[in-house]
Amino acid sequence: MKTLFPLILLMLSACTTRTTTETERGEALAERYCGSCHLPVSPALLDKKTWTEHVLPAMGEKLGIGVWQGTEYFEKKGATISFKDWKTIVAYYKTLAPDSLQAAKADPLQEGPALFSIRKPQWKDTTHTASTTMVAVNPFNGSIFSSGENGELSRWDSTLAPHEVMALQSPAVDISWRSADTALLTCIGNLRAIDAPQGTLWEIYSHAPAAEQVKTIGLGLPRPVQSLPADFNRDGLTDYLVCGFGHDYGGLYVLRQTTENDYQKRPVWEVPGAIHAIVNDFDGDGWPDIMALFAYGDEGIWLFQNDKKGGFKQRNLLKFPPVYGSTSFQVTDLNKDGKPDIIYTSGDNGDYSMELKPFHGVYIYLNKGDFKYEQAWFYPINGCTKAIAADFDQDGDQDIATIAFFADHKHHPAERFILFDQTGTMQFKPCVFPEITALGRWICMDAGDVDRDGDIDIVLGNYSKGFMIQEDFHPDWNINTPLILLQNKTK
């Protein structure tokens, strides 16, 4: 026994050393091959089944590895990685990924104050499932507009009765108002995640005769999701910024106006995933800059500083792993120190890793100066889709309203809509409203003074055709009503 014991220890030590070496090699290879395109992803961010059955096969194909029967691999000519190295990466994730993800711990949701009265639209159609793709409040007069999967633009009157403004070639997903009756309308072209450059950008005049209601700004855009007007070269002509989310192809573009009705598309950064942008003079030099969120692969927020020569200087501000599923951001001064901070949401769950993720939610990054941002607050929300900061309760500080399309519908359905009441500097109380939960599955939201009484109302858009990521769950909400209005009762 005395002779065998040291031998056993030596064997165990050799196994441990070999395993550690292979793990370190797998980590280094993952960082080399995956980290060259985006932030390296820790095995702990997804469960073992998701890694092995969905994410790794998809990544293998992108690297030129053959995939057979979903989870088996074979060598192919032209791969950008050796088959041995790929198998090492697969083993690394299989070994270290957890069997399941643990839910994030957070302050419990509390029933919210009687801040809103819920107004439902005059809608009696129970034959069609709601497929709202956009809701918007006109800041000039408070009128509500919406669009849906069928490709219509509707205006809702003071009684919340719909009136069709015009038929569209594809669903509208964004509108930017230039006056009470003039707006920039972005139509995505195709809701499906395919590379079909069929998106359009129109300037619409809602009160003009039918034949004069539309001016075409851009055609054949790669699944555009947002557009903004700005004079980037300060020549007195309005240019347009377009977030072309695309699929494998897309980018952030400027449609530069050269004459009265001619626009040239110029890429600012031609990579897919541009989902949300803000135009402002961020560096204070008098020229409009761009801050943009990219939500595909190399996820993060970038600043594009106007170089005053027709181009932009690119600077990364924040970066996120590709499994985060970035959805929106907003720039606003939350801690009242005079520097604009960033509110960011992650929660897209319609890709390869369709599982509830503890890192989904709403984040606050405080501005530390010189375009440096530091995470100061996070609240986990499964499938968080959008956040809007405003002083909803009129107490002098900014609150945050959030929606979650991929919420935990089974166990925490109330997180579909949460209002974070700021009770002190950077202190938030998460409030939910059970009566709102049953009225829809919210994919879009806007805020504004709809009734012109001085406080901020909220409009929620219902999209009930989306797929579920939770097994054995069927919608427990109203699937027909396209939107609801949360009318603020503060004033």
Per-residue tokens: 281:
């003079």
Query: Which residues make beta-bridge pairs with 292?
Result: 277, 302
For 331-353, write each residue's pLDDT tens digit.
Answer: 999 999 999 999 999 999 887 88
> Which range (20-34, 375-389, 393-407, 473-487) has the least confidence?
20-34
> Which range (186-190, 295-299, 482-486) has the least confidence?
295-299
Amino acid at 141: N
69/175 same-domain check: no
On the question of pLDDT at 7 being above 70, the answer is: no
In a domain, 13, yes or no: no
Range of the domain at 66: 22-96
79/161 same-domain check: no
In a domain, 43, yes or no: yes
At 385 the pLDDT is 97
173/228 same-domain check: yes
Beta-carbon-side half-sphere exposure of residue 286 (alpha carbons within 13 Å): 2
In a domain, 310, yes or no: yes
Instruction: Give the whole-angstrom CA distance, residue 267 versus residue 270.
Output: 6
In a domain, 108, yes or no: no
Overall number of domains in the chain: 2
Residue with tokens 């801050």: 291
In a domain, 357, yes or no: yes
Contact 113, 431 (CB under 8 A): yes
In a domain, 105, yes or no: no
Name the 3-class secondary structure at 161. Answer: coil
At 363 the pLDDT is 98
Per-residue tokens: 400:
């945050």
Mean pLDDT (the chain) is 91
On the question of pLDDT at 12 being above 50, the answer is: no
At 19 the pLDDT is 54
On the question of pLDDT at 201 being above 50, the answer is: yes
199/294 same-domain check: yes
On the question of pLDDT at 206 being above 90, the answer is: no
At 173 the pLDDT is 98
Mean predicted confidence (pLDDT) in 429-439: 94
150/230 same-domain check: yes
Burial 195-232, CB ≥16 within 10 A → b, else e: ebbbbbbbbbbbeeeeeebbeebbeebbbbbbbbbbeb
In a domain, 4, yes or no: no
Among 184, 175, 176, 123, CA closest to 146 = 175
Last residue of a domain, one of 65, 96, 127: 96
Burial 51-62, CB ≥16 within 10 A → b, else e: bbebbbbebbee
At 5 the pLDDT is 46
53/187 same-domain check: no
78/151 same-domain check: no
Last residue of a domain, one of 61, 96, 131: 96
For 89-122, write each residue's pLDDT tens digit.
Answer: 999 999 999 999 998 888 889 988 889 999 999 9
287/328 same-domain check: yes
Contact 274, 296 (CB under 8 A): no
For 229-264, write each residue's pLDDT tens digit.
Answer: 999 999 999 999 999 999 999 999 999 999 777 899
In a domain, 3, yes or no: no
134/66 same-domain check: no
193/44 same-domain check: no
Query: Which residues make beta-bridge pairs with 488?
Result: 116
Among 87, 73, 97, 95, CA closest to 33 = 87
Instruction: Give the whole-angstrom CA distance, residue 378 versus residue 360.
Output: 9
Per-residue tokens: 310:
């027709």
159/192 same-domain check: yes
Burial 477-489, CB ≥16 within 10 A → b, else e: bbbbbbbbbbbbe
Among 295, 287, 220, CA closest to 253 = 220
At 2 the pLDDT is 45
At 15 the pLDDT is 46
295 confidence band (pLDDT: 50, 70, 90)? very high
At 478 the pLDDT is 94
Q: What is the DSSP letter of 66?
A: E
Which CATH number does the domain housing residue 382 bear? 2.130.10.130
At 170 the pLDDT is 94
Query: Which residues make beta-bridge pairs with 239?
Result: 230
Instruction: Give the whole-angstrom CA distance, residue 399 versus residue 341.
Output: 14
389 Cα distance to chain centroid: 16
For 19-50, write each residue's pLDDT tens digit.
Answer: 567 888 888 888 888 766 778 889 999 999 99
On the question of pLDDT at 288 being above 70, the answer is: yes
At 40 the pLDDT is 81
Q: What is the DSSP letter of 53?
A: I
370/225 same-domain check: yes
Last residue of a domain, one of 44, 69, 96: 96
